[in-house]
A and B are shown apart, each in its own frame.
Chain A
Amino acid sequence: MKAFTYERAKTPAEAAAAVANNPGAKFLAGGTNLLDLMKLEIETPSHLVDVQDLKLDRIEETSDGGLRIGAFVSNTDLAAHDRVRRDYGALTRAIVAGASGQLRNKASTAGNLLQRTRCPYFYDTNQPCNKRKPGSGCAAIGGYSRQLGIIGTSDACIATFPGDMAVAMRVLDATVETVKPDGQTRRIPIADFHRLWGNTPHVETALERGELITAVTLPKPIGGTHIYRKVRDRASYAYALVSVAAVIQPDGSARFAVGGIAPKPWRMAEAEALAPKGAKAVATRLLAGARPTSDNAFKVPLVERTIAAVMAEGAKA
């Protein structure tokens, strides 16, 4: 870990400005990912701006009947919130499918969206990695890639976004609210928040330098059966091989977002329109153009089978 300085900002705009004005600065929220990466010197900030005093730790109802989730609300509190459990069950289920109780107590809503990939080559600083060291190459391509991406990847990077919470937020059409260093705010649809890797896999989100997430909003509830199905080798405390967040309506219409396969939660309206034709039709459309490796080619049929499982569960409910 490199030596760093530390401050606690008082307001979101002040925090954003503090990071924008210091090229080595980063925001610190729960620290469950950033501090680990700093110990390994995968992240080497020279300054940390702690956001815990920004009063972003509340969940409020919005005027249209949705919810506004403060950026610093812990994963535990979000998952346990009455309204979330009642109206946005996919989100509660996704959150409790991730990490451990201790980590969820510390991890924040914004931090969860910003967690970095778990590609093992990203984690080994002896190995080339375009995400860790732009231009150095990708050791994962041609290496051990069972856990890695099958779609939306690039010749520069085949990593995945590893989270669960964001997959449910994607299926719920969440919006990310931010404040920029100049005090301006903006609203980024979750669909546009995570970027595909392309030639710049170190640029992972739509956020600008110093731009701070202040909240995530959920639109008014859409009803239906909420499901989060996470497929993994062990029953807990593992990243998804494939996960599916779904909201299935009594008329058979459905929304699906898939995790564990791409740089972002993977969702496609055209694929959802095929729900009446079954899982194969949905998965085939969703994964058109997939480029799996020999290690992770199984994820293609696994997505289809997991969607089938989710549809069966939704039909039963």
Chain B
Amino acid sequence: MKFDTPAGTNPIDQGKVVGRPTPRIDGPLKTSGRAPYAYERHDVAENAAYGVIVHAGIAKGRLNALHLDEAKAAPGVVTIVTADTAGKLGKGNMNTAKLLGGPEIDHYHQAIALVVAETFEQARAAANLVRADYARGQGKYDLEAALPGAPPVPDPNANDGKGPKIDKVGDFERFFASAPVKLDQKYTTPDQSHAMMEPFATIAAWKGDELTVWTSNQMINWTKGDLAKTLGLPKEKVRLDSPYVGGGFGGKLFLRADAVMAALGARQAGRPVKVTIARPMMANNATHRPATIQRIRIGCDKDGTITAIAHESGSGDLPGGGPETAVSQTKLLYAGAHRMTAMKLAVLDLPEGNAMRAPGEAPGLMALEIAMDEMAEKLGMDPVQFRIKNDTMVDPEKPERKFSQRHLVQCLNDGAQRFGWSRRNAKPAQVRDGRWLVGMGVASGFRNNMNQKSAARVGIDKQGMVTVATDMTDIGTGTYTIVAQTAAEMMGVPIDSVNVLLGDSSFPVSAGSGGQWGGNSSTAGVYAACMKLREAVAQKLGFNATDVTFANGKVTSGNRSADLKDAAGLSAEETMEYGDLAKQYQQSTFAGHFVEVGVDAYTGEIRIRRMLAVCDAGRIINPTSARSQVIGAMTMGVGAALMEELAVDKRFGFFVNHDLATYEVPVHADIPHQEVVFLDYPDDTTSPMKAKGVGELGLCGVGAAIANAIYNATGVRVRDYPITLEKHLAKLPMVA
């Protein structure tokens, strides 16, 4: 099915199930510990041995020798995989660094061997007996030092990555120079780790030349292809199964070392092997969100009209990697006739940089939305009004191209009213509550909606149960539930008559979970399969397909009615594909983020007091799980604003704080009441679901709202994330 004209009225609009707050259908399995996560799937592969990875102890250089004798002789050891024993390996399309290093080492904690043993403890003990002799190479680890010589690069997400290296509209330099009010500031964001709850984990088993991996992955089809490519197998010889994923945040978009090493270990051991990557190895072994150094210039008329806006960002990655696209939102968020965006990419020998929740927009808005706050202050304007003044209903780079919908102004106005914004003192450092300096901040949230082709198979059995199968993943987001809601609405059955099967590569290929495209895209695929099934049911039951209704387990047309289960045995598979509506219309999601913080006047400690997000993200399929997504993202934004930073050791080239004791993410005590409001405007250009992404929107902008609230509380502007107390302590008023 192709979606190439705006959706008319369709069965989803009934709203009997879709759009209703619906508890997770997989909730009981998860709360009772019966949802099988990859490492605990004890029933799938008998006699599995345990593999423990040996990780490189240098960031760059060469492995001169790997001494295995002691490890091989250790109790229980079955076999040891190294680059020497693995044979020739390819590299996945989505991977920048090799997943098995040696003799060249590309980054710290890169896998260099896998020790397979009878028990986990034996494998771990033997892995520690492997001795590596390295020739340490010269690496580049300092972004600030590397950027001046780094080349400009085009936006990989626009024009197939072949666009201009500097994106210009009008004459930015001239109009910025002549603007009566201007801002020119530098902002920095650090490297961040996904730090998802479930570590990477895979069980691998071979049957002849066929490989099955039970793993934890967001993008089944990408990873199936990349695993086949890495191992030199035809894609159809590989099966992935990932029904439950304990969080990913982009860290599990790609094939990672656990799956490759488990497959190699199982091949060499001649039996199934399970591998996890220990928490202290995850930050350096896997991918991370790259640090950025950004420069923003804004020129305004005295009335607050933006006349010139430029956003430049520099980031680093291993050779062959890509930039953190921190300038993306600046192309679309505010009006302004004269514009410029550009990115630079330095080669760094740190671990691989790659996508983390809202790649680009998350760090980009952390900078842009402080800049907007600073500019509002220069203009003497309220920061909400300054944003509203520069709202645009068209793509500012191509004014003939409209937004499909845009209710940012409503997000900001509604949010301001609900939050009590009028009580904010525009002059900073004025509000005191005991030892706390109190401030409020606002930021716009923006994240593009993206659709991906997605397929599903839907069938009916004798009991009238509807079963949906798709290789779509549920990474904790609530996919099981929205897929069930969609099928229930379409087939006219209660949600508990829908059985959802996800995450198996033998199912129809879905959009997968990434880029906040999963919810809208995967349910649109289910919609397509259901439409096809409805036709088949109508035909089988002797109805005219055009005027038939599906409700209460019955199929009805005019006076005649039949039970849906009379069509038992029917199933249909269909793919939803997209025409060029996303080119005709700019499809984006918007939010108004409002935050109140307290800053301890003595110690400079920052604590969040209240948070509100008003979100404009199309039809909300399940307000319960959408709210979970947004509050989770707001929490992640608190981490980004206040504490999350992978500290780079610039001498040895690694992230030093590589465990959860030292890489701090928010805990419950950090998170106060969070309020989320959805405007819930169905958007008929996005899909028949009229929905959009919502999983990343909640993160976009919230960090800057916090930063702006801190400034309002203290009068000290910090432009370097995370905003830890030492960055403003010396400038806080002395209290003793």
Q: A150: shortest Cβ distance to chain B, in Å?
A: 12
Interface of B is mostly: loop
Closest to B722 in A: A233
Q: Which of A267-311 contact B (CB under 8 A)?
A: 278-280, 298, 301-302, 304-306, 308-309, 311
A123 to B662, CA, bound (A): 10
Which B residues are CB-close (under 8 A) to A304? 736
Is the Cβ of A234 less than 8 Å from the Cβ of B602?
A: no
User: Contact check: which of B75, B280, B604, B667 meets A237 at CB < 8 Å?
Assistant: B667
**Interface membership of B643, Cβ < 8 A:** yes
User: Contact check: which of B128, B658, B666 meets A234 at CB < 8 Å?
Assistant: B666
Q: A233-B664, A305-B602, A312-B602 are contacts. A120–B725 as well, Cβ < 8 Å?
A: no
Q: A123-B280, A144-B656, A234-B643 are contacts. A302–B603 as well, Cβ < 8 Å?
A: yes
User: Contact check: which of B603, B647, B669 meets A305 at CB < 8 Å?
Assistant: B603
A4 to B128, CA, bound (A): 15
Is the Cβ of A144 less than 8 Å from the Cβ of B657?
A: yes
Q: In this complex, which of B121, B600, B652, B736 has the most chain A Cβ atoms within 10 angstroms of its Cβ? A: B736
A298 to B642, CA, bound (A): 17
Which B residues are CB-close (under 8 A) to A78? none
**Interface membership of A139, Cβ < 8 A:** yes
Q: A58: shortest Cβ distance to chain B, in Å?
A: 31
User: Contact check: which of B280, B670, B722, B729 meets A236 at CB < 8 Å?
Assistant: B670
A2 to B642, CA, bound (A): 38
User: Contact check: which of B280, B651, B666, B724 meets A142 at CB < 8 Å?
Assistant: B651
Which B residues are CB-close (under 8 A) to A126? 57-58
Which A residues are CB-close (under 8 A) to B735? 305, 308-309, 312
Q: A89: shortest Cβ distance to chain B, in Å?
A: 19
**Interface membership of B197, Cβ < 8 A:** no
Is the Cβ of B725 less than 8 Å from the Cβ of A139?
A: no
Closest to B724 in A: A233
Which A residues are CB-close (under 8 A) to B57? 126
Is the Cβ of A120 less than 8 Å from the Cβ of B602?
A: no
Which B residues are CB-close (under 8 A) to A280? 736
Closest to B108 in A: A126
Which A residues are CB-close (under 8 A) to B730? 298, 301
Is the Cβ of A305 less than 8 Å from the Cβ of B656?
A: no
Is the Cβ of A234 less than 8 Å from the Cβ of B736?
A: no
Q: A121-B656, A124-B658, A127-B652 are contacts. A234–B667 as well, Cβ < 8 Å?
A: yes
A311 to B736, CA, bound (A): 9
Is the Cβ of A235 less than 8 Å from the Cβ of B667?
A: yes
Interface of A is mostly: loop
Is the Cβ of A309 less than 8 Å from the Cβ of B656?
A: no
**Interface membership of A54, Cβ < 8 A:** no
Q: Which of B146-185 contact A (CB under 8 A)?
A: none
Which A residues are CB-close (under 8 A) to B656? 120-121, 124, 143-144
* Cβ proximity bits B279-297 to A, threshold 8 Å, 1 near / 0 not: 0100000000000000000
**Interface membership of B668, Cβ < 8 A:** yes
A304 to B730, CA, bound (A): 12
A192 to B689, CA, bound (A): 70
* Cβ proximity bits B667-702 to A, threshold 8 Å, 1 near / 0 not: 111100000000000000000000000000000000
Q: A145: shortest Cβ distance to chain B, in Å?
A: 9
**Interface membership of B339, Cβ < 8 A:** no
User: Contact check: which of A142, A143, A233, A237 meets B725 at CB < 8 Å?
Assistant: A233
Q: List 9 A-B contacts (CB under 8 A).
A: A139-B652, A144-B657, A234-B643, A235-B607, A235-B667, A236-B667, A238-B664, A301-B730, A308-B602
* Given A126-B57, A312-B736, 6 new contacts (CB under 8 A): A123-B280, A143-B656, A233-B605, A236-B669, A278-B736, A279-B736
List residues of chain B with CB under 8 Å of any chain A CB.
57-58, 75, 121, 124-125, 128, 280, 435, 600, 602-605, 607, 642-643, 647-649, 651-652, 656-659, 661-662, 664, 666-670, 722, 724-726, 729-730, 735-736
- Enumerate the 8 nearest inter-chain pairs by beta-carbon distance, A residue then B residue, closest first: A298-B726, A308-B736, A126-B57, A309-B602, A235-B669, A236-B669, A144-B656, A144-B647
